[in-house]
A and B are shown apart, each in its own frame.
Chain A
Amino acid sequence: MHIRIVGWTWLVVAVLALGVVGGCSKQVRYGDPKSVETVNLDFGSTDLQVIAEAMTRSLLQSPMVAEGSRPIVTVQDVKNKTSEYIDTRAITDSIRAELLKSGRVRFAVDAAGMDEQIDELERQQSEYYDETQSAEIGDMVAAQYRLQGSIISIVKENDGIKDVYYKFNLQLWNVRNGLLEWSDEKDIRKTES
């Protein structure tokens, strides 16, 4: 009799435990990748997307791009001068992708991709390739303009209120004569209280 009561007690405890664990399990859902993200104050997906879009649309209206000669541009670093880790390459990649879609800008291989480009060119010089179809060394097209930029942040905190101000600056430099042909900024303020 005593054994039966103990057995029932364990069964009830197990069922309750399963119910609690089931109730606490986290639900996974797909979301809108373009929605406004306010999980915390850190640099987030909305900041990246808004900056990339603002810079792209501004650059499309710049005289060098608008005149329709499809200038050749190379992407250089965006310096992260904030106190947090930001993959600035993700921002320039988005800008480059949107500009390419516009069909108004061409991109030359940048410093980050140069090793892979040279490796491939050299590989095609080997005896395994048809000479008539191999890319020749010395035909690469140099960029007329280079894109570079920076992102800074100002962070202030007082009485439980935290304020972050980001400023992203992008510049288009003429490689031949060193002139700054275009520049624009996008700023973002986020407050947590």
Chain B
Amino acid sequence: MKSPVYSLMIAAVLLAGCKSSGEPKPSELCPGFEEAGSTSKLEQVKVRYLDGPDVRVAQMRCVASDDLLRIDVDIINERPQEQRIAYRFEWFESNGMSVDNEEAWKPLLLYPDQVKTIRTVSPGADAQDFRLVIKR
């Protein structure tokens, strides 16, 4: 008696699994993901470290909304002490030309071992690609 119910439940779980696996992860929506091939390689391409800050980018998420690119980046403080860093995003057009919008360096205080999410949105529709620069 119970076997058809179990079969249906298993089928439902499998279908749900298939549906979720079909949707791209937020990091896969970041420009350059296809060329990079993986999340870790994407971070290698998209993030530059100056003066050796003791931080690491854990995750990067991108969403296109109203012709703008919204980006979340999780930064981990790898020190057991407070750390002060600065960061900024550099923006590029789809053809690789830099967008005429040089951002200010933004100071950021990280508590020991903190994971901090920095958020930004592109400065206009022409800014289709980006690079995150983090410096000590």
Contact = CB atoms under 8 A, between A and B. Distances in A.
Interface residues of A, number: 20
Interface string A54-92: 001100110000111000000000000000000000000
Main secondary structure of the interface of B (DSSP, over half): loop
A101 B99 CA distance: 10
Question: For the side of the interface on B, what is the size category?
Answer: 20 to 34
A98 B104 contact: no
Contacts of A46: 104-107
Contact of B123 (A36, A49, A68, A98): A98
B96 interface: no
Contacts of B125: 102-103
A53 B106 CA distance: 10
Given A57-B121, A61-B121, A98 B107 contact: no
Interface string A19-60: 000000000000010111000000000100110010011001
Contacts of B123: 56-57, 60, 98, 101-102
A61 B103 contact: no
B124 A103 contact: yes
**Chain A interface helix/strand/loop/mixed:** helix
Contacts of B107: 36, 46
A34 B103 contact: yes
Interface of A: 32, 34-36, 46, 49-50, 53, 56-57, 60-61, 66-68, 98, 101-104
Given A56-B123, A61-B66, A98-B123, 19 more contacts: A34-B104, A34-B105, A36-B86, A36-B105, A36-B107, A49-B104, A50-B104, A53-B103, A57-B121, A60-B121, A61-B65, A67-B66, A68-B66, A68-B67, A102-B123, A102-B124, A103-B124, A103-B125, A104-B124
